[in-house]
Amino acid sequence: MPSVKTIDTRQRFLFDETHIRGEVTTLHSSYQAIQQRQNYPPIISRLLGEFLAAASLLSATLKFSGIVSIQAIGKGPISSLMAECSNSSQLRGLVRGDYQNVDDNQNFESLLGSATLAITIEPEGRERYQGIVPIDKDSLSECLEYYFAQSEQLSTKIKLVADQQTAAGILIQEMPHDSEDDKAQDDWQHLSLLLESLKPEEQLELDHEEQLYRLFHEQQVRLFDPEVLQFFCSCSKPRTATALTSLGFTEVYQILKEQGSIEITCEFCDQHYIFNHNDIEQLFEGNST
């Protein structure tokens, strides 16, 4: 049986007699597997960990086969940061940019530099939905809270944290309801205030049940069974070939002529794909434009 510290889990919880739900997640082995594939400075790893924890929390709402991705595109040392999680609890993430010499004390905004944050929901076989908000807050948590307020009109509180070994997140959210009574407002304000008291070290060190007891021991909280999360890359040779066709017949054949074959390495998992002359011929069969 793996130790608790190697099991990545997410759990749903509900506050009885309120309109408030929650999710809590902790990532260990999947987070470390993603880090090991790139030489990220500590501050970059921690920010990636927060994005991965956030993707885990947001994907818990999916009621269909699909993926939730959170991507920041900016002009700072980080040009792109992306984390995604599927409804089957599979995670992957990646950071691009010139970040090797960043100051470990740089803040969220300076690392991304005039960035935008895109939250994309991709249902399998259906049209995707994307919401975009500016990164003009002090943390990813605040940006996501603003996204939910603007795009979903749902009151949401999120706390995210990561160190080199662990990434963790917790979310509470007011579910849609007709009532505008004082009790609903009081419930939200009270539980939001309690969540704010959760310390980063408690998120990283306590298990989910202990976190919820520490915060909400005076409330009636129902904690559901854990879902196991894992690192998984969805790349494949056919999907890579599809991406290759986007370059066009002329450019692909020019590369093939110069190099003899085309080699592509997945940035997420380091899987190596080689396309020889026969592969390219089949790929562009009947197409010479």
CATH number (domain holding residue 259): 3.90.1280.10
Query: What is the Cα–Cα distance from 283 to 244, expressed in whole angstroms?
Result: 9
Query: What is the Cα–Cα distance from 11 to 212, expressed in whole angstroms?
Result: 11
Query: What is the Cα–Cα distance from 151 to 178, expressed in whole angstroms?
Result: 19
| Same domain as 182, residue 135 | yes
Concatenate the DSSP letters of all residues of 171-192 into one string: EEEEPP-S---HHHHHHHHHHH
| Same domain as 267, residue 157 | no
Query: What is the Cα–Cα distance from 226 to 49, expressed in whole angstroms?
Result: 20
| Same domain as 149, residue 109 | yes
Structural domains of the chain, count: 2
DSSP label at 6? G
Q: Mean pLDDT of residues grouped by 10 in the chain (289 residues)?
A: 64 94 96 88 95 95 83 91 91 92 86 89 84 90 93 91 96 82 86 96 96 95 95 82 83 87 84 87 70
> 274 CB contacts (<8 Å, ≥6 apart)?
261, 262, 263
| Same domain as 278, residue 189 | no
Residue 182 confidence (pLDDT): 73
CB 95 within 8 A of CB 78: yes
The answer to whether residue 82 is domain-embedded is yes
Q: What are phi and psi of 236, to 5 degrees?
A: -160, 165
Residue 234 confidence (pLDDT): 75
| Same domain as 31, residue 174 | yes
Structural domain ending residue among the three candidates 215, 231, 247: 231
The answer to whether residue 288 is domain-embedded is no
DSSP label at 269? T
| Same domain as 248, residue 192 | no
| Same domain as 188, residue 222 | yes
Helix axis angle for 182-196 and 208-216, nearest 10°, is 120
- Note down the domain range covering 194: 4-231
| Same domain as 277, residue 198 | no
The answer to whether residue 222 is domain-embedded is yes
Residue 199 confidence (pLDDT): 96
| Same domain as 190, residue 64 | yes
Structural domain ending residue among the three candidates 213, 231, 249: 231
The answer to whether residue 142 is domain-embedded is yes
Structural domain ending residue among the three candidates 231, 257, 274: 231
| Same domain as 279, residue 181 | no
Q: What is the CATH number of the domain that holds 118?
A: 3.55.30.10
Name the token pair of 37. Answer: 């594939």
**CA torsion, ordered 85, 58, 71, 159, to nearest 10 deg:** -120
Q: What amino acid is encoded at 97 in this protein? A: G
| Same domain as 145, residue 251 | no
| Same domain as 251, residue 112 | no
The answer to whether residue 289 is domain-embedded is no
Q: What are phi and psi of 58, to 5 degrees?
A: -70, -35
CB 69 within 8 A of CB 82: yes
